Amino acid sequence: MASWIKCTTTDGTELHLNLEHVAMIRPHDSDRGFTGSEVIFAAGNLSSILVREGQDHLTRPQRIERGHDEV
C-alpha cells in the first residue's frame, strides 16, 4: 500500500509524495537561510525536490487523522 506524506516546496506549493518512490531523504541547508530536506527519487524524470519539512517529519510514522464524529 502506498505511503503518502504532505510536504511544502520552497516556493510554498503543497504536494503529496509517495514514499515508495523515494530513495533517500537528506537534510538541506542553503547559504540563503533555507533549511529543510532534499527528497531524492529512485527513478523518473524528476531526480530530487527541496521541501520545507525536516527529515524527522518526513520519516516519522504516519498518523491517521479522523474527523470529530468518526470512531
Query: What was the pLDDT predicted at 39?
Result: 93
Residue 33 lies in a domain: yes
C-alpha closest to that of 58 among 8, 1, 2, 11: 8
Tens digit of pLDDT at every position of the chain (71 positions):
678 889 999 899 999 988 888 999 999 887 777 789 999 998 877 789 999 998 888 887 766 666 666 55
Residue 70 lies in a domain: no
Q: How many domains does the chain have?
A: 1
Residue 30 sits in a domain of what CATH number?
2.40.50
Residue 25 lies in a domain: yes
Residue 71 lies in a domain: no
* Structural domain boundaries enclosing 34: 4-59
Query: What was the pLDDT predicted at 69?
Result: 63
β partners of residue 24: 40
Query: What was the pLDDT predicted at 29?
Result: 82
